[in-house]
């Protein structure tokens, strides 16, 4: 029959069109299908904004040890200093007064321009603005000191007098604060606002557990910083000659009890610093680092709410123990920004099993496109066949079917992330 012949021609034409469409669309949509299995996909990365959300964040795998009880700090963070991975955190970006842990940022900012071999004669003006009740190393105006001794006064005694003198050598108090702010931003630390470079309580001065971990990690990449931060005790000049050489000395000791093992706080195994702090407004704060079996962990603890003055060390110890015991049993909840000039090692990604199918997403798109084209072509065939039969039965001449207008409406899913307002604690 004429219609059967016509039907065969239309179907053969549709098949040819569909096959041609697959060939033509394949390069545009991804190329030739791969014969080898698709590579394994890495485990899902943490959501970038996860650490900005309040609360505790831990991604433990099977076999991970239980998280320690009794961590009462308003904010804390555990990170791998080598990879930069944040292993666990609580209110990581909560802005809080940092106390003397802010001296880590001061050292990162001023150390490069103030090497230890220089000498400086202290003036009355440099000591006049030291805050009342500040921790001091015992500088005297009119005496000449080696800069290395001034830095030991900063790191060991947390001496605000030493910070004021070094800041004056660095261009002045306000200029140093500005430079510290720039340095913080260059390291990716966006929570820190610097008012007083020594960490003394000041309106609006805040940092966060995340930012302090960033400063600690950058400090470990600086040999001079790391050396000062790891020193447990030293002899400090009581008097000097005009060249800064001590004529007599007295002992000073690092105020970080995890480093010294003083006041009933056991020295932490593998401890390598970094800095502790305290003010009545900030409470007790601590940035600490320890190394075991080639792995270095960073812990920051800000303002424990229970346990007295040494709770900051007890909570840091518990977090370090848990972090080392959890090796290989955690997925990161975030990452620290890489320290400028350093090349941190990268942890091997955790892989999922390869999918059973050898088809890749690209080849899947090709077949879907070809199938869609074949359906459209078949629809056109059936439409023309029906139109021809209707005209044939009516005895009317076969005409060209009018073109149909189609409209495809795609729905787009929109995702939004709600920001969390953060209030500065200035009590």
CA-CA distance, 15 to 411, in Å (whole number)? Answer: 31
Helix locations, 135-272, DSSP H: 147-155, 160-169, 173-186, 209-220, 223-229, 257-260
Active site residue 100: yes
Tokens at residue 139, please?
Answer: 């500088």
Active site residue 103: yes
Q: How many CB atoms lie within 10 A of CB 176?
A: 23
Evaluate whether 198 touches 177 at the Cβ level (below 8 Å): no
Whole-Å CA distances, 101 to 107, 166, 175, 217, 316: 10, 17, 20, 13, 14
End-to-end CA, the chain: 95
Evaluate whether 355 touches 334 at the Cβ level (below 8 Å): no
* Three-class DSSP category at 169: helix
Evaluate whether 46 touches 59 at the Cβ level (below 8 Å): yes
CA-CA distance, 323 to 30, in Å (whole number)? Answer: 43
Evaluate whether 271 touches 258 at the Cβ level (below 8 Å): yes
Which of the following is catalytic: 75, 135, 158, 326? 158
Which of the following is catalytic: 103, 183, 208, 275? 103
Evaluate whether 281 touches 201 at the Cβ level (below 8 Å): yes
Which of the following is catalytic: 100, 135, 208, 326? 100
Whole-Å CA distances, 223 to 38, 111, 150, 219, 263: 44, 11, 17, 8, 29
Tokens at residue 218, please?
Answer: 């950058």
Active site residue 342: no
Evaluate whether 355 touches 34 at the Cβ level (below 8 Å): no
Tokens at residue 154, please?
Answer: 């900063």
Residues with active-site annotation:
100, 103, 158
């Amino acid at each position: 029959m004429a219609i059967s012949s016509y039907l065969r021609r239309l179907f053969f034409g549709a098949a040819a069109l569909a096959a041609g469409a697959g060939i033509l669309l394949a390069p545009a949509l991804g190329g030739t299908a791969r014969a080898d299995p698709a590579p394994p996909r890495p485990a899902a990365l943490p959501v970038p904004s996860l650490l900005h959300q309040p609360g505790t964040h831990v991604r433990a795998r099977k076999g991970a040890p239980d998280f320690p009880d009794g961590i009462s700090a308003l904010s804390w963070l555990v990170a791998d200093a080598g990879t930069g991975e944040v292993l666990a955190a609580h209110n990581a970006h909560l802005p809080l007064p940092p106390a003397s842990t802010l001296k880590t940022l001061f050292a990162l900012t001023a150390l490069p321009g103030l090497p230890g071999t220089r000498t400086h004669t202290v003036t009355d003006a440099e000591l006049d603005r030291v805050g009342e009740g500040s921790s001091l190393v015992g500088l005297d105006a009119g005496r000449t000191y080696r800069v290395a001794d001034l830095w030991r006064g900063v790191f060991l005694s947390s001496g605000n007098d030493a910070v004021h003198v070094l800041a004056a050598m660095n261009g002045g108090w306000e200029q140093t604060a500005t430079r510290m702010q720039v340095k913080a931003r260059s390291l990716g630390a966006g929570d820190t606002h610097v008012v007083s470079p020594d960490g003394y309580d000041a309106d609006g001065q805040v940092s966060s557990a995340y930012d302090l971990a960033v400063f600690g990690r950058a400090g470990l990449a600086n040999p001079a910083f790391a050396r000062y931060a790891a020193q447990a005790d030293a002899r400090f000049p009581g008097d000097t000659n005009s060249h800064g050489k001590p004529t007599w000395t007295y002992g000073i000791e690092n105020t970080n009890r995890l480093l010294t093992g003083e006041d009933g706080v056991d020295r932490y195994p593998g401890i390598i610093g970094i800095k502790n702090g305290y003010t009545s407004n900030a409470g007790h704060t601590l940035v600490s680092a320890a190394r075991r079996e080639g792995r270095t962990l960073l812990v920051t603890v800000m303002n424990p709410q229970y346990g007295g003055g040494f709770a900051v060390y007890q909570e840091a110890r518990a977090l370090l123990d848990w972090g080392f015991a959890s090796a290989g049993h955690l997925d990161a909840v975030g990452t620290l920004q890489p320290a400028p000039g350093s090349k941190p090692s990268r942890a091997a990604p955790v892989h999922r099993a390869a999918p059973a199918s050898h088809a890749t997403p690209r080849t899947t798109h090709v077949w879907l496109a070809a199938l869609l084209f074949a359906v459209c072509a078949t629809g056109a065939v059936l439409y023309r066949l029906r139109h021809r039969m209707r005209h044939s039965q009516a005895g009317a001449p076969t005409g060209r079917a009018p073109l149909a207008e189609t409209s495809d409406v795609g729905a787009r899913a929109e995702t939004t992330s709600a920001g969390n307002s953060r209030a500065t604690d200035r009590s």
